[in-house]
Structure 1
Amino acid sequence: MNEKQLNRYRVISNVIEGNLKPCDAAESLGLSERQIYRLKKGVEEEGVSFLIHKNTNRKPYHAFDDDFKQNIVKLKKSDKYKDANFKHFQELLLENEGISISYNALYNLLTSNGVISPKKRRKSKKHYRRKRKARKGMLIQIDATPFEWFGNTDKFSLHGAIDDASGEIVGLYMTKNECLHGYLEITRQMILNHGIPSCIYTDRHTIFRSPNASKVSIEEQLEGKIINDTQFGRAMKELGIAIITARSPQAKGRVERLWNTLQSRLPVEFKIAGITTVEEANEFLLKYIPKFNSIFAVEPEDSELVYRKLTDDLILDHILCVKQTRTIDNGSVFSIHNRHFQVLKSPGLPEIPKKSKITVIISTSVGIKAEYQGNVYEVINFIKPKRKHETKQNKLKTKYIPPDDHYFKYGHDKFKKVYFDESYEEVLSVLEEIFLSKYA
């Protein structure tokens, strides 16, 4: 008997012997007088054993059997699930093993067997979070994070976009390093699957904001000095999306907390799915986004959407790209990145006058095109004949060949193959210089 049961036995014994009134006993034990009379009768008939609960030392009817518990502990310690935190492990058990168990029961089972969650929890600090936006599409937070996503020492950058109102992921794309290509791809996913948002919240990376923007004084601004937009900023302006740059990571805490969750879960998901390359990861992420949102997304305060539909006059491939201005010569040829291209005549489109300024569209989706007065023209590679004085034999130079693991070679697989017959190699070279070499 425990101390509580012994105390009850002493009080009931005094009631049976007449040394204590039932009302006083009820007050002493915190019970009703009716309960005192029931306990008195039970002790008189069955003795002290009546005060001991009948389920004492008996295994609960709904308790898990030992084999079931040992199987769960064995699965958690296996290489497949050892890196999953307890909550994620609970979800994976149901999804992959068909095992349903509550979080509290799982936590008690694992901790009692010496298993510790790999996700460390810091002591929470009191702080005030910015209130979520009321509607979807009002504010999108975007960022990128480098991490060892495949369980080895190689780091890759995952670009992501999350809706501030609902916490939904609207875009995920992985590349070797944080780069313009990654941010353009998550923007493409967001617009195609949801629409055009009102604002995008970013950090102060030079992809989003020119480093010269903070160097312009008020006097220079009043004089009309303008800092050119970055390529990403120009694309957002064409789509009518405002860019807000944060001054600290805490300001865009929603996307920063997203990285904490994904860094805990995605390596485990990749290991289970057998994913070891960036290409496989990007295909997997498209299917993983709805699964993640079904678990973590919340209902916004207002169900009305702020996302705008993509209109017919907005062609994403001609917006989510790099644009540079060039002048064509008398033969409709222009030079870009030490390579020459010729603008082709297109049926139904006016011919571009000589010496005109054109906008060169450089995209990982469509390759290289020329734009003039809103019309888009195809281009081909053009090899200029060498001048006579250039036929002089030059000293042979040793050509540097980068190793196989160099990102210049790695990047060949990052772009969708856009064939322009014999000009494809030249187009690919320009794409690599613009989108890859700067971030290699």
Structure 2
Amino acid sequence: MKTNKHIQDIIREAALSRDKAAKRELLIKSGGSRSWFYDAIKKYKEIGEAFFIHKNKNNKHAQKRTHMQALEISRIFRDEYLNCNFRDFMRYLKADKRYDYQWVSYSYIYNILRSKNHCSKLAHKKTIKLLAKEEELKNRPQSLLVPSSATERAKENIHIARPRTQRRGHVVEADATFWRFSDEEIWALHGYIDEASGEVLGLYFDHQETTEGYFNALKPVLKNYGTFEVLRTDKRRTFWSEKKESSPEDSWIQFAFVAKNLGIDIQSSISPQFKPRIERLWKTIKGTITTFMEQNKVTNINEANLVLPKFVEYLNNHVVTLQKDFTTNSFKKFEGDLNIILGHKSIRVVARDLTVTYEKEKYFICNFTTPLNIPRREIMIIQCCDGNLIASLGDNYYSMIEFDNEMLYKSKVVLENEGVKPEDMPQKIKSISVWAQSNFIFFKKKYSSWYKKHSY
């Protein structure tokens, strides 16, 4: 292959030669056209060696990246966006009106920050180890250096990727992680992610990993998407117990009871590889949530929960790579009352005076304002998400009124009218499952037939 130097030597030799045959041989060697060859000889004779100098040799590119720009970008990342990953830093830098860096690309940002030994929050463990080793090698004396190949240094035991399901809404993964908001506060972030598409469905902050936190994170999932078929979780007591393995309705697990009635099958495992999408999501979130909260000026956990829907939308639109190759959508529209369904449920026994005790307070189970004559009966008490109390028995639900003298008089009137004596009170009903005695309002016939097959 002929280089520029070879072409220049051919043109110089042809300009000095007067032999036409020799010029024809040089033309063939140059590989150019006849007109170009003789034009080059003519211009070389006119201006000499200046003919070989490109006209833009000393001109500066309009968008040339200077060393000062690289230093400034590195300083901005170190001082203002150190808790941010490289791609989010590029977005924030372009949107920041204080600087004129709308032209930067991801590769330019990446090369600058890596050259300054900055590490992204989303960096793989392999990359972090390599950077640490390179830093160690720089500080080690030359006499102690041992040559090693990059391939050997990069060897890692990587888990085989788990294949995705082909139906959106078929499998949903749930988990929680802890995130340090400040030196004094650490919050637990509860979340759900669709396994097929990788879409973040719901997030919620709480001070600890709690059942209530999982319920609050489930609210936007049921409201915006509907119910799903399978929920993959770890073996936390919120989802799993040894008793649940033999009889789910006897497990006394709040979340398991709600999931069973919604037709959701809970699958639990102690292995993190059982739910890899949500585990990988936490690493992605921790690389961008700190900067997002700072941008929205969040100061407490309540404000953080208010901006989480906006953060979920940001993740799905800009950060998470959504999969488009799923075949069908298995989400089913949900029309139940979330205030009742996700409330806390417990079993109480109605006393002889027709009252029940809940959190050291006495209440009457009333049909409107009349106490029910159901002494020694087991009944389910539901503390709704808004704090109100209702009672559920069979297919009906009733209001709960606090104990006072007026209600006590009404209860005595009811007992006297019925002619019930204390010794003739009905005995306590024994059943296989106290949970099975309650059938929520959302299992009534007015709802779709899909709920009927999942009710008790």
Length-normalised TM-score, structure 2: 0.69
Q: Using the TM superposition, give the Cα deviation of residue 302 of structure 1 relative to its aligned residue in structure 2, in angstroms.
A: 4.0
SS of equivalent to 1:191:
helix
Matched, 1:334 2:353: no
Alignment equivalent of 2:251, drawn from 194, 216, 228: 228
Q: Which runs of 5+ in 2 are unaligned?
A: 127-155, 406-456
Distance 1:151 1:55 in 2: 54
Structure-2 residue corresponding to 1:192: 223
CA distance in 1, matches of 2:286, 2:179: 7
Aligned pair count reads 364
> What is the CA-CA distance between 1:38 and the residue it aligns to?
6.3
Instruction: Name the TM-score, length of structure 1 as normaliser.
Output: 0.71
> Once superposed, what is the RMSD of the aligned Cα atoms?
3.4
Question: Which residue number in structure 2 is paired with residue 317 of structure 1?
Answer: 339
Flag the 1:243–1:277 CA change in 2: closer, same or farther, 3 A.
Answer: same
* Equivalent residues of 1:331, 1:342 under 8 A apart: no
Deviations 1:303-338 (A, max 9, x none): 743111113xx332222133222210122212345x
Residue of structure 1 in register with 2:149 after alignment: none
2:337 is the alignment partner of 1:308:
no
More moved, 368-377 vs 192-201: 368-377
Q: Is the contact made by 2:368 and 2:399 (CA closer than 8 Å) also made in structure 1?
A: no
Q: Cα distance, 1:85 vs. partner? A: 2.0
Corresponding position of 1:102: 105
Task: Answer yes or no: is 1:368 the counterpart of 2:389.
Answer: yes
Does 1:240 find its partner at 2:263? yes
Q: Is 1:47 matched with 2:78? A: no
User: 1:329, 1:321 → 2: CA distance?
Assistant: 24
Q: CA deviation at 1:109?
A: 4.9
Q: Is the 8 A contact 1:134 1:300 kept in 2?
A: no
1:292 aligns with 2:315: yes
Distance 1:355 1:39, change over 3 A: farther
Matched, 1:134 2:158: no
Q: Taking structure 1 as reference, are residues 383 and 12 closer, same or farther at Cα in structure 2, changes over 3 Å only?
A: farther
User: Could you tell which deviates more after superposition, 121-130 or 160-169?
Assistant: 121-130
**Following TM superposition, by how much is the alpha carbon of 1:46 offset from its aligned partner in structure 2, in angstroms?**
3.5
1:4/1:76 CA distance change after superposition, 3 Å? farther
Structure 1 residues 402-440: Cα deviation after superposition (integer angstroms, max 9, x where no partner): xxxxxxxxxxxxxxxxxxxxxxxxxxxxxxxxxxxxxxx
Report SS of the residue matched to 1:21. Answer: helix
| Alignment of structure 1 residues 394-405 onto 2, 5 Å | none
Q: Report how far residue 260 of structure 1 moved.
A: 0.6
Structure 1 residue 162 corresponds to structure 2 residue 165: no
Task: Please report how far the alpha carbon of residue 207 of structure 1 lies from its aligned counterpart in structure 2 after TM superposition.
Answer: 0.9
Which residue does 1:116 correspond to in 2? 118
Among 237, 240, 245, the residue aligned to 1:209:
240
Partners of 2:240 and 2:35 in 1: CA distance: 78
Residues 235 and 321 in structure 1, CA contact (< 8 A), matched pair in contact too: no
**1-side partners of 2:325 and 2:57: how far apart?**
50
Q: Within 2, Cα distance between the matches of 1:326 and 1:286?
A: 37
Mind listing any 5+ residue stretches in structure 1 that lack a counterpart?
A: 215-220, 385-440
Contact kept? 1:352, 1:372, Cα under 8 Å: no
1:259 and 2:282 matched: yes
Matched-pair identity in %: 26
SS in structure 2 of the partner of residue 143 of structure 1:
strand
Q: Structure 1 residues 213 and 306, CA, compared in 2 at 3 Å: closer, same or farther?
A: closer
**Cα 1:35/1:306, change in 2 over 3 Å:** farther
Amino acid at match of 1:92: Y
| Cα deviation, residue 132, structure 1 | 2.5
Output the CA distance in 1 between the equivalents of 2:33 and 2:171. 60
Q: Distance in 2 between matches of 1:106 and 1:236?
A: 46
Amino acid in structure 2 at the alignment position of 1:234 = F
Distance 1:229 1:10 in 2: 92
Note the C-alpha offset of 1:190. 0.5
Cα pair 2:355 2:365 within 8 Å, conserved: no
Q: Does 1:357 align with 2:381?
A: no
* Partner secondary structure for residue 356 of structure 2: strand
* Alpha-carbon offset, residue 102 of structure 1: 2.0
Q: Which residue of 2 aligns with 1:91?
A: 91
Query: Does the 8 A contact of 1:333 with 1:340 survive in 2?
Result: no
